[in-house]
């Protein structure tokens, strides 16, 4: 059934049809400043579907607006809800039809502004408002952002964990568009899908020092599938401290620490020996533990073997979940600066380890070069995100799908503690 508003005298009237599959709660009237313009383009408006007052539109149905007759055409349509979320749409080349190409939110009020032009070029405009109903299912996709609010190093990625898997590229694109990350100062960045339930966000280069990063979601009420709707997400604000980057050269047995690009300390170290080589690449500080008991049995080295160890370790700065640390190693001071004798960790004197422990924070960067070890994994064993080039990183986005857009990084299975 359709509802027709009585015709008013106008120049080149245009019939607009709003098709939603169900009804609309209200339409803009003479009190709307846009509808009061000389050329009211919607003198005849028809709503297809139920037309009783208070009936809500079905968010499962697309929004469609059609200009009927030969006396005018649509030139522009914008649809935005009360939360400021715009509906993407597509206008036909001849201006006869506009339809939405992104999902409507459930339980939301939309304002739809339609601009037209008659056959003499005179502009017209009409404003419509409509309410959408609630989802027909209670299954929601909630998002949890990480890390916790606080101050981090410039290498800290943002994480988004989803309460349900999202596999299809089109649905992933909807999720990405809704997950907003802004920083002050502004820097380019992108999401990367680690798997079906987790995304990481990082800039093209490290975050600027002393930046503010805000993360939020606009997924609430957005349809993602036949039985899945966007749910809630608590917004998150992070800040960064000084840029602290430590570069460990396994061949020269030194660690050089930089703050805001300036060298502040060079430390003699020992890294992994043959068979236990330290991973190359960029790692991000995961946490700091004043004391850790490191035992070889946790990584499959048999008790009583020549490589067995069971040691109390102080000032341990964790780099991987599998147990790679920067820590105090007073038993290897004679080799620090001259030989690699550890089981994969970076060892240094107790005094230097205490200084490093006090200097770095979670999210700071440790880069290992010139080791014979493998390269740090991008995911699954800590934050190896920076070991992907910017081009490669962007291939993990459902929106960009790869391609050059800025430079790569500058400097560059959860287990118990392992190496010494």
- The span from the CA of 398 to the CA of 224, in Å, is 14
Residue 159 near residue 199 (C-beta atoms within 8 A) = yes
Same domain assignment for residues 274 and 380: yes
- The phi, psi pair for 126, rounded to 5°, reads -145, 140
Q: Which CATH number do you get for residue 29? A: 2.60.40.3780
Same domain assignment for residues 248 and 208: no
Task: Give the distance, in angstroms, between the CA of residue 316 and the centroid of all CA atoms in the same chain.
Answer: 30
* Per-residue pLDDT tens digits of the chain, which is 420 residues long: 333 333 333 333 344 445 554 444 444 444 444 444 445 545 533 444 333 456 787 777 778 887 766 566 777 888 888 888 888 888 777 777 777 887 788 788 888 888 777 777 777 777 878 888 876 556 889 999 999 999 999 999 999 999 999 999 999 999 999 999 999 999 999 999 999 999 999 999 999 999 999 999 999 989 888 778 899 899 999 999 999 999 999 999 999 999 999 999 999 999 999 999 999 999 999 999 999 988 777 767 777 787 778 889 999 999 999 999 999 999 999 999 999 999 999 999 999 999 999 999 999 999 999 999 999 999 999 999 999 999 999 999 999 874 333 333 333 333 334 556
Same domain assignment for residues 385 and 323: yes
Is position 406 within any domain? no
Cβ atoms within 10 A of the Cβ of 2, count? 10
Is position 291 within any domain? yes
Domain that holds residue 186: 140-240
Domain boundary among 240, 270, 285: 240
Is position 402 within any domain? no
Same domain assignment for residues 117 and 223: no
Count how many domains the chain has: 3
Same domain assignment for residues 283 and 327: yes
Domain boundary among 240, 261, 282: 240
Is position 416 within any domain? no
Residue 356 near residue 329 (C-beta atoms within 8 A) = no
Q: What is the pLDDT of residue 142?
A: 95
- The span from the CA of 65 to the CA of 72, in Å, is 13
Is position 124 within any domain? yes
Same domain assignment for residues 272 and 379: yes
Q: What is the pLDDT of residue 57?
A: 78
Same domain assignment for residues 248 and 390: yes
Nearest to 382 by CA among 294, 323, 328, 299: 323
Count the residues in the chain.
420
Residue 394 near residue 203 (C-beta atoms within 8 A) = no
- The span from the CA of 399 to the CA of 169, in Å, is 9
Is position 65 within any domain? yes
Residue 203 near residue 385 (C-beta atoms within 8 A) = no
Alpha carbons within 13 A on the beta-carbon side of 245: 23
Residue 332 near residue 345 (C-beta atoms within 8 A) = no
Q: Which strand ranges, in their side-by-side order, compose the sheet holding 287-295?
A: 287-295, 310-318, 325-328, 346-348
Same domain assignment for residues 267 and 379: yes
Give the residue numbers annotated as catalytic, written as ranges. Answer: 327, 345
Is position 70 within any domain? yes
Residue 365 near residue 206 (C-beta atoms within 8 A) = yes
- The span from the CA of 233 to the CA of 176, in Å, is 14
Q: Which CATH number do you get for residue 279? A: 2.40.440.10
Q: What is the pLDDT of residue 236?
A: 98
**Distant-in-sequence contacts of 286-290, Cβ < 8 A, 24+ apart:** 286/318, 286/319, 286/320, 286/321, 286/362, 286/382, 286/383, 287/317, 287/318, 287/362, 288/316, 288/317, 288/318, 288/357, 288/360, 288/362, 289/316, 289/317, 289/318, 290/314, 290/315, 290/316, 290/357
Q: Which strand ranges, in their side-by-side order, compose the sheet holding 228-230?
A: 140-141, 228-230, 223-225
Is position 336 within any domain? yes
DSSP category for residue 355: H
Same domain assignment for residues 158 and 297: no
Alpha carbons within 13 A on the beta-carbon side of 323: 21
Same domain assignment for residues 279 and 370: yes
Q: What is the pLDDT of residue 67?
A: 74
Same domain assignment for residues 211 and 263: no
Q: Parallel, antiparallel, or unpaired: how do β-strands 189-195 and 198-203 relate? A: antiparallel
Same domain assignment for residues 295 and 329: yes
Cβ atoms within 10 A of the Cβ of 45, count? 23
- The span from the CA of 63 to the CA of 81, in Å, is 13
- The span from the CA of 99 to the CA of 62, in Å, is 7
């Amino acid at each position: 059934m359709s509802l027709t508003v009585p015709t008013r005298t106008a120049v080149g009237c245009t019939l607009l049809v709003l098709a939603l599959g169900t009804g609309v709660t209200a339409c803009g009237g003479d009190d709307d400043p846009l509808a009061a313009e000389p050329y009211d383009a919607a003198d005849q408006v028809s709503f297809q579907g139920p037309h009783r007052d208070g009936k809500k539109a079905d968010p499962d149905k697309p929004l469609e607006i059609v200009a009927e007759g030969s006396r005018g055409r649509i030139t522009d349509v914008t649809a935005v809800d009360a939360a400021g979320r715009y509906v993407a749409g597509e206008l036909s080349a001849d201006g006869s039809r506009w339809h939405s190409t992104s999902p409507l939110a459930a339980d939301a009020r939309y304002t739809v502004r339609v601009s037209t032009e008659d056959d003499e070029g005179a502009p017209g405009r009409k404003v419509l408002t409509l309410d959408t109903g609630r989802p027909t299912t209670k299954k929601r996709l909630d998002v949890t952002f990480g890390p916790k609010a606080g101050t981090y190093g410039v290498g800290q990625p943002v994480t988004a964990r989803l309460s349900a898997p999202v596999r299809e590229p089109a649905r992933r694109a909807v999720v990405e568009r809704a997950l907003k990350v802004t920083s002050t100062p502004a820097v380019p960045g992108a999401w990367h899908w680690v798997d079906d339930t987790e995304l990481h966000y990082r800039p093209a280069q490290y975050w600027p020092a002393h930046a503010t990063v805000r993360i939020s979601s606009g997924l609430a009420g957005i349809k993602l599938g036949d039985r899945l709707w966007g749910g809630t997400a608590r917004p998150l604000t992070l800040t960064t401290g000084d840029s602290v980057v430590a570069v460990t050269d396994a061949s020269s047995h030194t660690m050089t620490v930089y703050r805001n690009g300036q060298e502040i300390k060079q430390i003699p170290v020992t890294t992994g020996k043959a068979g236990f080589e330290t991973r190359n690449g960029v790692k991000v500080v995961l946490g700091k533990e004043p004391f850790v008991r490191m035992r070889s049995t946790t990584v499959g080295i048999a008790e009583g073997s020549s490589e067995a160890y069971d040691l109390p370790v102080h000032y341990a700065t964790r780099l991987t979940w599998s147990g790679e640390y920067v820590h105090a190693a007073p038993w290897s001071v004679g080799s620090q600066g001259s030989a690699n004798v550890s089981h994969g960790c970076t060892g240094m004197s107790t005094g230097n380890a205490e200084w490093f422990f006090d200097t770095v924070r979670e999210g700071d960067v440790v880069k290992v070069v010139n080791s014979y070890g493998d390269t740090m994994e991008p995911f699954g064993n800590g934050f190896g995100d920076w070991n992907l080039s910017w081009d490669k990183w962007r291939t993990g986005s459902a929106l960009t799908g790869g391609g050059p857009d800025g430079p790569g990084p500058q400097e560059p299975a959860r287990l118990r503690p392992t190496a010494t």
